[in-house]
């Protein structure tokens, strides 16, 4: 524990313990596999706690996505207790206990912050060393990011253990960083994005020190690995808070450094919130939809006003608009192709019915997705309502439908039928003799 953390939590050595009678978490809310892991650890003399977001969500009356277990047993000790245990992670050693095909309980040993005296003499041994120094539950709590994520549920007496004031913050619906936010955001700039995510997901207010620290440390987010930022961004939309978080990222000065060159405006934020609503309605999160929504405003601005583009020109402009983002974040060609088709389809639909190439576009696999994208934009902006309605009158059809048909439902052929081509006659093979009469 650092001095700054001790100053912030002067009673850190005296955790607040909430007995079973004073909180609403019941073992009935915990799945049987997790309970089995907790009890086996406890019955073998180890501390066994539910940790992290699962405890937070249960206290808030939410259903956790999964449960994590914390213990003072080392990974090798956990493995000895469970035949179905597999140790994973080189940098951060974890125990994965598998149940059948899909069941998985993750067990982490309590860890502490590494000090100068903890580093091995050989620099080659430094990789991952600081992440695998085992410690006490209290030390482990202070390594976590936010106070509401550092609560422990003790299976021994069903109590809640709080070393960092997380219970008070839950009650106040306040998001607070453990330790000095300036230091913690410098250690890991992605925590700034996670702070905005939890604030949006839980409808919590940002602590003023956290908000100020984001303002001051915002440029550091550009140093984070692009692959990690991309995954965190998609996580926002999986939790249906992408639009709200990016709106707040602009308000706190984070957005220009998070997405370089991206100009956030109300139309884009509203469209992204409609993408979130689409996910909330049960549809899977679709990265091409997110990409197209992020860059639609720039695409529309890049299309010459009052001038009809060819499809090839629209494809070229869409590709140029998407290229900086896709190249920086290493977006797969298939994903960027689908995003480009959504933008081009949006442009083609925006020209209205009866335009050249309409029949061919109606049979294109991208038509329905582009129409849904246009409808989301219309809902977000209030524009193009009649245009969307006219396109929605088009019946859903397969690739071969919508073409004119002849008698008996057959599709008329184009031009004369091609003559069957005969191969060259093989040498030395006589033609078959005609049958003799009388046969």
Task: Show which residues are catalytic.
Answer: 66, 68, 145
Cα angle 273, 383, 346; round to 5: 75
Q: Which helix (H) or strand (E) is 106 found in, with range?
A: strand 103-109
Sequence-distant (6+) residues with CB within 8 A of 219 are 257
Is 132:89 a contact under the CB 8 Å cutoff? Answer: no
Pairing of strands 174-175, 205-206: parallel
Q: Do the bridges between strand 94-99 and strand 68-71 make them parallel or antiparallel, or are there none, so unpaired? A: unpaired
CB 183 within 8 A of CB 4: yes
Q: Buried (b) or exposed (e) across 158-170, using 16+ Cβ within 10 A?
A: ebbbbbbbbbebb
Contact between 160 and 166 under an 8 Å Cβ cutoff? The reply is no
Residue from 132, 54, 118, 53 nearest 88 by CA: 132
3-state DSSP assignment of residue 109: strand
Alpha helices (H) in 382-436, listed in sequence order: 385-392
Burial class (CB within 10 angstroms; exposed 0-12, middle 13-18, buried 19+) of 186: middle
Give the DSSP letter of residue 45: T
Distinct helix (H) and strand (E) counts, the chain? 19, 10
How far is CA 370 from each of CA 169, 291, 339, 349, 391, rounded to the nearest angstrom? 44, 13, 10, 8, 11
């Amino acid at each position: 524990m650092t001095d700054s953390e001790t100053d912030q939590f002067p009673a850190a050595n005296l955790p607040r313990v909430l007995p079973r009678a004073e909180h609403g978490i019941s073992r009935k809310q915990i799945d049987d596999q997790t309970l089995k892991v907790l009890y086996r650890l406890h019955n073998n003399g180890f501390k066994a706690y539910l940790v992290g977001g699962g405890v937070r969500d249960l206290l808030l009356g939410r259903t956790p996505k999964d449960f994590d277990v914390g213990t003072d047993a080392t990974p090798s000790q956990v493995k000895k207790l469970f035949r179905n245990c597999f140790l994973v992670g080189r940098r951060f050693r974890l125990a994965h206990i598998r149940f059948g095909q899909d069941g998985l309980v993750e067990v982490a040993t309590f860890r502490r912050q590494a000090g100068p005296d903890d580093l091995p003499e050989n620099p080659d041994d430094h990789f991952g060393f600081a992440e695998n120094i085992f410690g006490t539950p209290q030390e482990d709590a202070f390594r976590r990011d936010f106070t509401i994520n550092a609560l422990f549920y003790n299976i021994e007496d069903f109590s809640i253990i709080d070393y960092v004031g997380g219970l008070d913050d839950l009650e106040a619906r306040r998001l607070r960083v453990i330790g000095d936010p300036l230091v913690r955001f410098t250690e890991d700039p992605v925590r700034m994005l996670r702070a905005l995510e939890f604030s949006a997901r839980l409808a919590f207010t940002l602590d003023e020190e956290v908000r100020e620290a984001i303002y001051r440390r915002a440029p550091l987010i550009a140093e984070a690995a692009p692959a990690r930022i991309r995954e965190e961004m998609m996580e926002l939309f999986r939790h249906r808070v992408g639009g709200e978080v990016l709106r707040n990222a602009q308000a706190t000065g984070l957005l220009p450094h998070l997405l370089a060159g991206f100009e956030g405006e109300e139309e884009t934020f509203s469209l992204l919130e409609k993408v979130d609503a689409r996910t909330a309605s049960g549809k899977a999160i679709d990265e091409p939809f997110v990409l197209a929504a992020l860059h639609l405003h720039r695409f529309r601005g890049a299309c010459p006003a009052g001038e009809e583009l060819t499809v090839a020109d629209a494809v070229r402009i869409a590709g140029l608009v998407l290229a900086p983002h896709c190249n920086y974040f290493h977006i797969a060609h298939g994903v960027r192709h689908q995003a480009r088709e959504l933008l081009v389809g949006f442009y083609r639909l925006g020209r209205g019915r009866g335009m050249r190439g309409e029949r061919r576009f109606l049979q294109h696999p991208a038509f329905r997705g582009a129409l849904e994208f246009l409808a989301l934009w219309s809902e977000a902006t209030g524009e193009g309502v009649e245009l969307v309605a006219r396109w929605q009158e088009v019946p859903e059809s397969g690739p071969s439908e919508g073409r004119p048909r002849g008698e008996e439902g057959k599709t008329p052929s184009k031009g004369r039928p091609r003559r069957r081509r005969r191969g060259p006659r093989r040498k030395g093979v006589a033609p078959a003799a005609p049958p003799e009469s009388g046969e």
